[in-house]
């Protein structure tokens, strides 16, 4: 058998999701992808001085992938999502006051949600960045306080999740909805397919 035939016959790598996010796990399940294991990467997520938001999310995704220990038959998928208003990066708010400040900053204007994915397989790492524009309607103080009381801002980039209570404030997006949630599904499926990992149809054995 030729080397080409051997390569074609080789099984796809086992997928390691380098994230503890239940949202990313749920998103992958929508396209029939079940990771072999979850292995969150432990890195410093502090942005650098004057670092542009797009550079920041690419770096975060790449550093997460590089930090994981992988076996020869494994591939790692990592991602990072952040919200940007101009050149300002809005990460996960430290407390209620910062969440309120983020929401006031986005109120009545558009912002950009950036999600970068890194797929590490062997000695190669593929990177992809997806940008989605989001418009948030003006939020009055009473509505903001009710939103903060729900607590949905905790652990969310920009202080909100588009699939949560903040959906009431978002009349329009331009781009990938799933990217705002945490993982752009079409782009992710294409990246995984390139290394032989295909979605599993319902009823098909894994």
Count CA atoms within 13 Å of residue 53 on its CB side: 20
Strand partners, 37: 16
- State the catalytic residues: 80
| Under 8 Å between Cβ of 66 and 82 | no
**How long a stretch of residues is the chain?**
206
Q: Which of 111, 157, 113, 159 lies closest to 135, judged by CA?
A: 111
Contact call for residues 88 and 51 (beta carbons, < 8 A): no
Place of tokens 């397989």: 121
d(CA 142, CA 139): 8
CB 172 within 8 A of CB 4: no
Of 22, 8, 18, 21, the C-alpha closest to 43 is 18
């Amino acid at each position: 058998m030729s080397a080409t035939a051997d390569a074609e016959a080789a099984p796809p790598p086992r997928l390691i999701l380098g994230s503890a996010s239940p949202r990313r796990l749920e998103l992958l399940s929508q396209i029939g992808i079940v990771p072999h294991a979850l292995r969150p990467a432990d890195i410093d997520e502090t942005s650098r001085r004057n670092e542009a938001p797009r550079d920041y999310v690419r770096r975060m995704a790449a550093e997460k992938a590089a930090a994981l220990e992988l076996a020869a038959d494994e591939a790692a998928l990592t991602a990072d999502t952040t919200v940007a208003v101009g050149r300002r990066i809005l990460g996960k708010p430290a407390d209620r006051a910062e969440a309120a400040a983020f929401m006031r900053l986005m109120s009545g204007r558009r912002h950009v949600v950036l999600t970068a994915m890194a797929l590490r397989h062997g000695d190669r790492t593929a990177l992809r960045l997806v940008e989605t524009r989001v418009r948030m309607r003006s939020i009055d103080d009473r509505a903001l306080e009710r939103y903060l009381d729900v607590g949905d801002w905790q652990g969310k980039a920009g202080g909100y999740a588009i699939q949560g209570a903040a959906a009431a404030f978002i009349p329009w997006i331009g781009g990938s909805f799933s990217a705002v949630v945490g993982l752009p599904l079409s782009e992710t499926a294409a990246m995984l397919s390139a290394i032989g990992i295909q979605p599993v149809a319902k009823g098909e054995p894994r």
